[in-house]
Structure 1
Amino acid sequence: MDQIDYKILELLQRDSRITIIQLSRELHLSRPSINERLKRLHENGVIEGFTTLISPEAIGKSVQAIIQIGNLKCGCRHFEEKIKEEEAILECHRVTGTSSYFMKTAVSTTRHLENLVDRLVSFGQVNTSIILSTSVANRPLLPEMKQNSIDS
């Protein structure tokens, strides 16, 4: 990956609807060159897909929380299969430390959050934190750029 690939990834993460023509203009490259780079990034697994960001508040899911669960009463694989059935769980991460999993959820009311927590309690010790605000969200994920050393 070079600086152009880096810039392509940055631009796509800021606006996944950017067109090939716009990328071409922004990066001063031909459309076939941009297409080839995008194809290569996709084939190499760097680009996994494209998505749309939805405002939870705009669709009535303004109660967001981080749920931690530890001291599992079942196997991890069983828990992971069950959690996939919970549509309110937006993300689920298996982690190290005292908790086994961190999950992010978005629901419409605290009653819905309470019901979700009640379902999760059967799996282990649950700790819930309501998200009050988000200071960093959806920051572009970019590779480390290797510096060319002039001294070498």
Structure 2
Amino acid sequence: MDDTDLKILSHLQENARLSMVEIGKLVGLSSPSVTERVRRLEEQGVIISYRTIVNPKGLKKHITAFVLMEPRDCNKYKKFAMEHSDVVECHRIAGMYSYLTKVVTESVHTLEDYINLCLEYGKPTTLIVLSSPVEHKSFFTESEKL
């Protein structure tokens, strides 16, 4: 992977809707060259997918929380987290807790419902998000895009 690949990735991470022509203009390559590089990055697993970031408030989900779990059975909790509609991320972690789960839900009442369900699997510790000054941050600095 060279500097041009990194610039292409930087622009795609910022705006995945850019056309190959637009990216080519930004990095100084032809559209076919950009297309080939992007295809190669996809094949190498560097680019996994293209997604839309949805504002949870637009879905009437106003509460975000992180739940640290000490489950009695990790596999049962993992299955529960994978199937619950309010869980948007679940990470196996090292340390005092086994899982860090990000929950996005409608209200503190629905968060409480989720926590009550968690009690069946172990001991949850809940951290409610007040604000998120850094979200979806690019892996690249502004100077790396040039």
TM-score if structure 1 supplies the norm length? Answer: 0.89
Q: Which residue of 1 aligns with 2:50?
A: 50
Q: Which residue of 2 aligns with 1:81?
A: 79
Does the Cα contact within 8 Å between 1:14 and 1:140 map onto a contact in 2?
Answer: yes
Match of 2:132 among 121, 131, 134: 134
Does the Cα contact within 8 Å between 2:4 and 2:27 map onto a contact in 1?
Answer: yes
Shift of 1:58: 2.0
Does the Cα contact within 8 Å between 1:68 and 1:127 map onto a contact in 2?
Answer: yes
Give the secondary-structure state (helix, strand or coil) at the position aligned to 2:39: helix
Which aligned segments of 4 or more residues in structure 1 are displaced greater than 4 angstroms?
none
Shift of 1:28: 1.1
Query: Does residue 1:110 correspond to 2:133, yes or no?
Result: no
Does the Cα contact within 8 Å between 1:73 and 1:122 map onto a contact in 2?
Answer: no
Structure 1 gap segments, 5+ residues each = 143-152
Provide, for residues 106-126 of structure 1, a one-character-per-residue CA deviation record: whole Å limited to 9, x for no partner.
111111000000001111110
Shift of 1:96: 0.3
Shift of 1:59: 1.7
Q: Which has the higher helix share?
A: 2
Aligned amino acid, residue 139 of structure 1: K
Give the secondary-structure state (helix, strand or coil) at the position aligned to 2:112: helix
Give the secondary-structure state (helix, strand or coil) at the position aligned to 1:40: helix
Provide, for residues 35-70 of structure 1, a one-character-per-residue CA deviation record: whole Å limited to 9, x for no partner.
110011000000000000011112210111011101
Structure 2 gap segments, 5+ residues each = 141-146
Aligned amino acid, residue 57 of structure 1: K
C-alpha distance in 2, partners of 1:55/1:37?
A: 31
Shift of 1:82: 1.9
Aligned residues: 140
Does the Cα contact within 8 Å between 2:76 and 2:121 map onto a contact in 1?
Answer: no
Q: Percent identity?
A: 31
